[in-house]
C-alpha cells in the first residue's frame, strides 16, 4: 500500500532549460559525507590470493601442511604430582622449503619460576583484592613449573643442538630438511604438575583434601611441534597464556602409566582395553556401545568411592592411539565415575563419554553425556559428521578447556548435592562449548595463537545454536515456556560491550594477547556477528550453506581469517566486505535512529525549493515545463490542499500524464498515495546494517520494510527515504525485534516514546489554525 522512493533530486531532471547541481537545501553535503570506505572492498586488508590459498577461500592447488607424528611413553608420579615423558617425533616436511631448524613448543614454560609471563601486565593499585588473589600476588613464591628437558637426540642417539627461548625450543638439524623429507628425533623431559585450581592453569590437578586424592586433567604435557605454513613460516609466537595453540596434525601412539587403581581416558582409541578394564567394565562397555538413548555406567559412583580409599602402589599402562589429531590430552584419577553411550553418526557409531568425581553428582550423571551427544549431532548437522571415534567430557573445577576427543568442564553442585539453575546451565553450556571445539579448532585447525576468534567465535556461535536446540529437544531441562538461557549469541547480549569505552575495545581482528576483554572480543562479539549474519543479513539458507562450505573445505586443514571471509562470500553471492570491515576490523557499533520526519503534499505549483531555485537564477515559472511537486507541510500550508490530497485530483500535470501515457487498466492498477513523508535516518554508530523499519498507519496497518545495508554506501551517517501512503503515518520504529545489536534504542522510534516529537508539535500547530 505504500511506495518508497529515494530522497530528493531524482524528480528534478525533467526539464530542459537547467541542470541541477544537487545542492538543494536539506541535502546537506558536507565534506566527508560521501564515505565509500565502509563499503570499500578489503583488498588492502586481505593477503593476495596465491596457489596455496585461492581467492575463492578454498585451499589452492599447492596448499600443503606439515605432519607431526608422536610416539610417547608417559609416567605419572601421583605422590609427587610429577610427569615424566619421552617421545619420538617424526616430522614430515610437506612444504616446498628446506628447513634448517625445527621449532618445538614448550608451553609448560609459561609456569617457570622466572617466567616473563608473570611480569607481562602493568597495573596500579586496585580498589581491592580477594584475599586469595592478594596472597597469590604478594605473599606466595611462584610455582616451580616448566619443562626440564633431559635430552634431545636424533634417531641414532646423537644429541641434537637445541636452544630454548621461553616457551619455544629450536632444534638445529644436522642438514636442512628438504621438501618431502622426514626427520625423527627423541625428547625426554619431566615437569611438576600445577594445581590448576589455584593458578588458573589450563591443565593440572585438583586435590581433594577429604580423601587425599588428586584428579588430573593433563594437556600441554609434551614438547609439541609448532606449525610451519605458507602464512607465517614458523608460528613461533610465544605462549603468554591467552593466545592458545597452533598445532599440526599427526598420528599419536601414547602409553600412559598411572597408579593401577586409576581410571584414565584420553585422545584416541584404547588399544589394550582387556588389560586395563575389569571383566565387569568390559561387559558394561559392550552394553554402552549399543545404548543410543542413555548412558551406561562403566564405573559407578559406589565403585569410584571405594577406589578413592585404595592408593595402589602398582601401576597400569593405558595405551592410546589416535589418527589425524592436532593434540593430545588425558584425564586420570581413582575418583572417576565413568559413563558412555553411542551416537549414530552417518553409518558410524561415536561414543559420547563422561568422567567425573562424585563431587560432580547428581548433575553430571544427569546431563553431561546427554550434552556431549547433543553437541555431536547439532554441530555435525551444520558442518560435517564428527569424524573421531569418541568425545569425552571430564569434570574439573573451574575448567573449560578443549583437546581432540576430550575436554575439561566446570559445573559443580554444592556439597549437599543441590545446585542452582546457573550452575546447571553453566555446566551444559560449557560442555557444548568445549565438545564443540572438536570442530573448531581441533578439526578446522585455525591458528589460535594468532586469532582467538576463529575458534572461540565460531564455536560460541555454534554453541548458541546447539543450546537453543537443546532447549527445544529437552524442554524438561529448562524453565517452562522458556528458551535456553544462552549467555552469548543474542544481539542484545553484546550491547553493553559494544557501547563501552572505545579506549578499551579492540577489533575482533586482534591478537588475543592484545585485547582488553577476551570474552566479549573473541567469543561474544564474533558469535553475535555470525548470528546476525545468519538471521538478519544473509538468511539461514545462504548462511548455512556457506558456513558448511567453509567447514568442509577446511576440515583437517589450516584456514586463515581470509579463507573464512572469502568462502562466506564465494558460496553465497553476498558481498560481505562491509560486514567483515565493520564488525571484525573496526570497533564501530550499531546505532541507527530516526532523525527527522517531514510531511509533504502533492501540488502543481512550484514548491518553495523550486521558487528559490528560480529566483537565484532570475527565472520564472514560465521557464518550466509542467512538473509535479511535493510541497512541505508547515504552519503556512493551506488546509484545503491537504483535504484534496489525492494526486490524481490535485495534480493536473500528473493526471494528464497518466491519461496520455497509460491505458485505463494501467491507471486503475496504480495506487494513489495521499501522504508523503521524507524520513531522515541516521547512524551515529557508523556500523552499516540493514535498516529494519516498522511503519504504522492511522488505518491500523503495519508494514515492515528492510532496506539493505547498501543504503548506507554513499553516506554512512545519514540517509533520507521518501515514504508515500494512502493512510497517515502514525509511527516509525527501527529494529523492532532488536536484531542488530543497536546500542541506543532511545532514538529508534518516532514519535519518541517518552517525549513529544517536533512533528507532533507541528501537527498541533496546524490543527490550531
456 vs 577 by CB, closer to Zn ion: 456
As measured in angstroms, the least distance from the Cβ of 493 to Zn ion is: 17
- From residue 656 to residue 695, the character string flagging contacts with Zn ion as x (rule: CB under 5 A) and all else as - is ----------------------------------------
For residue 642, how many other CB atoms are within 10 A of its CB?
15
Cell of 219: 594437556
Which residues inside 133-172 make contact with Zn ion, applying CB under 5 A?
A: none
**In the structure, how many helices (H) and strands (E) does the chain have?**
20, 32
Between 359 and 456, CB nearer to Zn ion: 456
Nearer of residues 400 and 690 to Zn ion, judged by Cβ: 400
Packing angle between helix 363-382 and helix 540-554, nearest 10 degrees?
Answer: 90
CA dihedral angle for residue 688, residue 690, residue 696, residue 697, rounded to 10 degrees:
90
We find the least distance from the C-beta atom of residue 723 to Zn ion, in angstroms, to be 46
For residue 433, the minimal CB distance to Zn ion (Å) is 6
Nearer to Zn ion, 460 or 650 (CB): 460
What secondary structure does DSSP assign to 177-201, as a single string?
E-TT-EEEEEEEEEEEPPBHHHH--
Please state, in angstroms and as integers, the Cα–Cα distance from residue 172 to each residue in 159, 224, 613, 680, 748, following that order.
Answer: 10, 16, 80, 66, 63
Minimal distance, residue 451 CB to Zn ion, in Å: 13
Q: How far is the CB of 44 from Zn ion (least distance, A)?
A: 31
Angle, to 10 degrees, between the axis of helix 452-473 and the axis of helix 525-532? 60
Residues 61-80 that bind Zn ion (CB under 5 A): none
Which of residues 376 and 721 has its CB atom nearest to Zn ion in the complex? 376
**Which of 295, 400, 405 minimizes the C-alpha distance to 339?**
295
| Contact criterion met (CB below 8 Å) for 307 and 208 | no
Residues binding Zn ion: number (CB under 5 A): 1
Q: Least Å distance between CB 437 and Zn ion?
A: 5
| 192, 198, 300, 363 from 214: Cα distances, Å | 14, 14, 18, 20
Tell me which DSSP letter residue 139 carries: I
Phi and psi for 610 in degrees, rounded to 5?
-70, -40
Q: What is the rounded distance in angstroms from the CA atom of residue 577 to the CA atom of residue 587?
A: 15
Specify the pairing of strand 250-259 against strand 67-77: parallel
Alpha-carbon Rg for the chain, nearest whole angstrom, is: 33
Residue 69 or 455: which CB sits closer to Zn ion?
A: 455
Query: How far apart are CB 459 and Zn ion at their closest, in Å?
Result: 5
Helix ranges, 591-638 (H): 608-616
* Residue 160 vs 527, nearer CB to Zn ion: 527
Cα distance from N-terminal residue to C-terminal residue, the chain: 30
Angle at 104 (CA atoms; ends 100, 108), nearest 5 degrees: 160
Least distance to Zn ion, CB of residue 341, Å: 24
Task: Enter the C-alpha cell of residue 738.
Answer: 532488536
Residues 441 to 470 in contact with Zn ion, rule: CB under 5 A: 456
Closer residue to Zn ion, CB minimum distance, 213 or 486: 486
CB of 558 to Zn ion, least distance (A): 18
Q: How far is the CB of 512 from Zn ion (least distance, A)?
A: 11
Closest to Zn ion by CB, 456 or 591: 456
Interatomic CA distance for residues 687 and 254, integer angstroms: 50
CB of residue 439 to Zn ion, shortest distance in Å: 11
Kindly give the pairing relationship between strand 213-218 and strand 204-208.
antiparallel
Binding marks (x or -) toward Zn ion, 181..210, rule CB under 5 A? Answer: ------------------------------
What nine digits make up the cell of 140?
Answer: 606466595
Q: Residue 87 or residue 456: which is nearer to Zn ion going by CB?
A: 456
- Least distance in Å: CB of 456 to Zn ion? 5
Residue closer to Zn ion (CB basis): 435 or 732: 435
Choose between 70 and 439: whose C-beta lies nearer to Zn ion: 439
Sign of CA dihedral 46, 50, 56, 58: negative
Nearest distance, CB of residue 24 and Zn ion, angstroms: 54
Is the CB of 456 or the CB of 733 nearer to Zn ion?
456
Q: Is 138 exposed, middle or buried (0-12, 13-18, 19+ CB in 10 A)?
A: exposed
What is the number of the residue whose Cβ is closest to Zn ion?
456
Distances (CA, A) of 574 to 184, 531, 565, 708: 47, 16, 11, 11
The H or E element that residue 315 is part of is strand 315-325
Give the x-and-dash track for 225-264 against Zn ion (CB under 5 A): ----------------------------------------
The smaller minimum CB distance to Zn ion, of residues 350 and 462, is found at 462
CB 58 to Zn ion: min, Å: 26
Q: Note the residues at the interface with Zn ion (CB under 5 A).
A: 456
Amino acid at each position: 500500500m505504500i511506495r518508497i522512493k529515494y530522497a530528493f533530486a531524482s524528480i528534478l531532471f525533467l526539464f530542459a532549460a537547467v541542470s541541477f547541481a544537487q545542492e538543494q537545501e536539506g541535502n546537506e553535503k558536507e565534506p566527508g559525507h560521501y564515505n565509500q570506505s565502509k563499503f570499500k572492498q578489503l583488498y588492502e586488508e586481505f593477503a593476495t590470493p596465491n596457489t596455496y590459498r585461492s581467492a575463492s577461500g578454498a585451499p589452492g592447488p599447492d596448499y600443503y601442511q606439515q605432519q607431526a607424528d608422536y610416539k610417547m611413553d608417559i609416567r605419572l608420579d601421583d605422590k609427587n604430582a610429577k610427569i615424566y615423558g619421552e617421545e619420538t617425533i617424526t616430522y614430515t616436511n610437506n612444504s616446498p622449503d628446506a628447513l634448517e631448524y625445527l621449532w618445538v613448543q614448550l608451553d609448560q614454560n609459561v609456569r617457570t619460576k622466572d617466567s616473563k609471563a608473570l611480569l607481562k601486565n602493568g597495573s596500579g593499585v586496585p580498589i581491592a583484592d580477594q584475599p586469595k588473589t592478594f596472597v597469590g600476588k604478594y605473599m606466595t613464591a611462584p610455582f616451580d613449573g616448566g619443562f626440564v628437558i633431559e635430552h634431545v637426540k636424533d634417531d641414532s642417539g646423537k644429541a641434537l643442538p637445541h636452544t630454548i627461548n621461553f616457551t619455544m625450543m629450536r632444534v638445529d638439524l644436522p642438514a636442512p630438511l628438504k621438501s618431502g623429507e622426514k626427520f625423527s628425533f627423541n625428547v625426554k623431559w619431566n615437569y611438576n604438575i600445577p594445581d590448576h585450581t589455584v593458578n588458573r592453569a589450563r591443565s593440572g590437578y585438583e586435590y581433594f583434601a577429604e580423601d587425599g586424592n588428586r584428579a588430573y586433567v593433563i594437556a600441554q604435557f609434551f614438547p609439541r611441534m609448532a606449525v610451519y605454513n605458507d602464512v607465517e613460516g614458523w608460528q613461533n609466537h610465544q605462549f603468554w597464556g591467552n593466545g592458545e595453540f597452533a598445532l599440526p596434525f599427526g598420528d599419536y601412539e601414547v602409553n600412559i602409566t598411572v597408579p593401577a587403581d586409576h581410571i584414565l581416558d584420553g585422545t584416541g582409541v584404547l588399544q589394550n582395553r582387556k588389560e586395563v578394564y575389569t571383566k565387569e567394565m568390559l561387559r558394561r562397555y559392550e552394553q554402552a556401545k549399543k545404548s543410543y538413548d542413555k548412558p551406561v555406567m562403566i564405573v559407578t559412583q559406589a565403585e569410584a568411592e571405594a577406589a578413592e580409599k585404595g592408593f595402589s602402589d602398582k601401576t597400569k599402562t593405558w595405551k592410546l592411539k589416535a589418527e589425524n589429531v592436532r593434540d593430545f590430552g588425558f584425564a586420570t584419577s581413582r575418583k572417576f565415575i565413568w559413563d558412555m553411550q553411542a551416537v549414530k553418526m552417518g553409518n558410524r557409531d561415536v561414543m559420547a563419554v563422561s568422567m567425573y568425581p562424585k563431587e560432580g553428582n547428581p548433575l553430571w550423571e544427569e546431563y553431561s553425556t546427554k550434552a556431549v551427544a547433543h553437541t555431536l549431532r547439532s554441530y555435525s548437522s551444520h558442518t560435517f559428521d564428527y569424524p573421531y571415534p569418541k568425545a569425552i567430557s571430564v569434570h574439573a573445577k573451574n575448567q573449560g578447556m578443549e583437546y581432540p576427543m576430550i575436554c575439561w568442564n566446570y559445573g559443580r553442585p554444592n556439597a549437599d548435592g543441590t545446585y542452582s539453575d546457573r550452575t546447571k546451565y553453566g555446566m551444559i553450556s560449557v560442555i557444548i562449548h568445549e565438545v564443540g571445539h572438536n570442530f573448531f579448532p581441533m578439526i578446522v585447525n585455525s591458528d589460535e595463537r594468532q586469532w582467538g576468534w576463529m575458534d572461540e567465535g565460531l564455536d560460541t556461535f555454534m554453541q548458541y545454536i546447539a543450546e537453543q536446540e537443546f532447549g527445544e529437544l529437552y524442554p524438561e531441562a529448562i524453565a517452562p515456556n522458556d528458551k535456553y538461557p544462552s549467555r552469548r549469541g543474542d544481539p542484545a547480549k553484546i550491547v553493553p560491550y559494544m557501547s563501552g569505552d572505545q579506549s578499551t575495545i579492540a577489533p575482533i581482528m586482534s591478537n588475543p594477547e592484545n585485547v582488553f576483554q577476551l570474552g566479549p572480543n573473541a567469543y561474544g562479539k564474533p558469535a553475535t556477528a555470525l548470528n546476525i549474519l545468519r538471521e538478519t543479513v544473509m538468511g539461514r539458507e545462504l548462511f548455512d550453506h556457506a558456513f558448511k562450505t567453509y567447514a568442509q573445505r577446511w576440515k583437517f586443514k589450516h584456514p586463515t581469517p581470509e579463507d573464512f571471509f572469502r568462502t562466506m562470500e564465494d558460496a553465497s553471492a553476498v558481498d560481505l566486505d562491509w560486514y567483515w570491515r565493520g564488525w571484525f576490523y573496526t570497533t564501530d557499533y550499531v546505532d541507527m535512529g530516526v532523525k527527522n520526519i517531514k510531511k509533504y503534499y502533492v501540488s502543481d505549483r512550484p514548491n518553495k525549493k523550486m521558487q528559490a531555485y528560480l529566483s537565484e537564477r532570475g527565472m520564472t515559472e514560465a521557464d518550466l515545463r509542467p512538473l509535479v511537486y511535493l510541497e512541505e507541510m508547515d504552519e503556512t500550508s493551506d488546509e484545503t490542499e491537504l483535504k484534496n490530497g489525492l494526486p490524481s485530483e490535485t495534480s493536473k500535470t500528473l493526471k494528464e500524464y497518466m491519461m496520455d501515457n497509460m491505458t485505463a487498466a494501467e491507471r486503475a492498477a496504480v495506487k494513489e498515495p495521499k501522504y508523503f513523508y521524507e524520513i531522515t535516518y541516521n547512524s551515529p554508530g557508523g556500523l552499516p546494517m540493514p535498516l529494519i523499519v516498522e511503519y504504522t498507519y492511522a488505518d491500523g496497518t503495519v508494514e515492515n520494510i528492510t532496506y539493505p545495508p547498501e543504503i548506507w554506501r554513499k553516506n554512512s551517517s545519514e540517509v533520507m527515504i521518501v515514504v508515500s501512503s494512502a493512510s497517515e503515518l502514525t509511527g516509525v520504529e527501527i529494529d523492532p525485534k532488536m536484531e542488530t545489536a543497536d546500542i541506543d534504542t532511545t532514538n529508534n522510534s518516532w514519535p519518541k516514546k517518552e517525549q513529544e516529537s517536533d512533528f507532533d508539535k507541528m501537527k498541533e500547530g496546524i490543527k490550531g489554525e
